Structure 1
Amino acid sequence: PAAGKAPGGSGTQAPGTAARPEPKETKEQTQEQPQEQRQPTRKTAPEAAPTGSMIVGAGSNRCIDIPGGNPLDGLQLQIHDCDGRAPQRWEFRGDGTVRAMGMCMDVAWGSRDDGAAIQLAECSGNPAQHFVMSGAGDLVNPQADKCVEVKDRSTGDGAKLQLWTCTGTSNQKWRLA
């Protein structure tokens, strides 16, 4: 019950309580007061520990990485110093896809040609997004039957990934960490 009123809503005052006048609306209260304009703040949940494994290049000792940590469709993947953060954590899924940050590793345009970019794409599960890690350390796209490699055998930070005929060179060898 409201303070100062008996149970049951009779409107009579309960014994031992003082009557409180009901507030009345005034013209001033009903007018909207201009409020200070504030920029919205973006609240983000604490970053969860990334799941998945780092894919580390044998020739470079660097990890397959999403450049700038910005998962955009069509962004070519690179190698970068391993730091264990989400842009380097890849999950090998049962559907054959390899995923990080909600996106899939992908052969650009589903190409089977040497030199095709290895990029990020929205996950669709198509054959261009299927990859298998062989016991020998090859990361293979079965559709093309070719390996993911670091372009031009580079070991430098930021070197791009591409598809190439498997040759067994160190720029095509990977391990999970």
Structure 2
Amino acid sequence: MLDGDEPIWEKYDSDTGKGNNTGNFSWSAAGILKLVHKESGALTAAASDKCLDVAGGNPADGTPVQLYGCNGTAAQTWSLPGDGTVRALGKCLDVKNGSTAPNTPVQLYGCNGTGAQDWKPGTGQTLVNGKSGLCLDVENGGTADGTRVLIHKCHNGTNQNWNLPG
């Protein structure tokens, strides 16, 4: 969980392009919310304190994103630049093949502005894919290194809660 005065989420008005700082990790469903937290660092699974990790540190398009013990490498350094994307190694967190089906894995892919790379805050500490409406999820609540990360129906379980960098 983050502490301090930096905005994490922002209520966004698509008509004016302006937002209002919510100041914490909780919000109502009213309005459109977007990521505005601009620090970079580890994105950790609340259930295990393991990190969202680009497999093998490989920056190639299509590289799987997994759960892995935190080690401070670039493969685990994520940024949330305020445009709805979650980035590492100069690329974006992406739902494979732009799918909206539950249990589709996420991967690293060149940023292309598609809904497969659009992430919004959900209930609790969840990240919701804007295209599918499904949550970023650690498969079956696993905690082992190499556990797949995918999109799944949102249920706000601990395997869908994430601690942002900072």
- Class of the TM-score when normalised by the shorter of the 2 chains: 0.7 to 0.9
2:125 matches 1:103: no
Structure-2 separation of matches of 1:90 and 1:125: 17
* Cα pair 1:60 1:156 within 8 Å, conserved: no
Q: State which drifts further: 135-144 or 151-160.
A: 135-144
Structure-2 separation of matches of 1:58 and 1:82: 13
Structure-2 separation of matches of 1:108 and 1:175: 23
Write the letter of the residue equivalent to 2:53.
D
1:136 pairs, out of 124, 143, 158, with 124
Cα offset, 1:135, TM superposition: 6.3
Alpha-carbon displacement from aligned partner over 1:111-170 (angstroms, at most 9, x marks no partner): 111011111111111111011244611011021111011112111111011100101111
SS of residue paired to 2:93: strand
2:103 matches 1:112: no
Write the letter of the residue equivalent to 1:68.
G
Q: Which residue of 2 aligns with 1:159?
A: 147
Q: With structure 1 as the length reference, what TM-score do the two structures score? A: 0.68
SS of residue paired to 1:77: strand
1:170 pairs, out of 152, 158, 163, with 158
Q: Percent identity?
A: 38
Structure-1 separation of matches of 2:158 and 2:119: 18
CA 133–89 in structure 1, closer or farther in 2 if over 3 Å, else same: farther
Structure-2 separation of matches of 1:148 and 1:102: 20
Uncovered stretches (5+) of structure 2, i.e. residues with no partner: 1-38
SS of residue paired to 1:160: strand
Q: Which residue of 2 aligns with 1:54?
A: 42
* Cα pair 2:59 2:91 within 8 Å, conserved: yes
Q: Which residue of 2 aligns with 1:71?
A: 59
Cα offset, 1:70, TM superposition: 1.1
Q: Which residue of 2 aligns with 1:121?
A: 109
Structure of larger gyration radius: 1
Uncovered stretches (5+) of structure 1, i.e. residues with no partner: 1-50
2:69 pairs, out of 61, 78, 81, with 81
Q: With structure 2 as the length reference, what TM-score do the two structures score? A: 0.72
Structure-1 separation of matches of 2:135 and 2:82: 20
Larger RCO (alpha carbons 8 Å, 6+ apart): 2
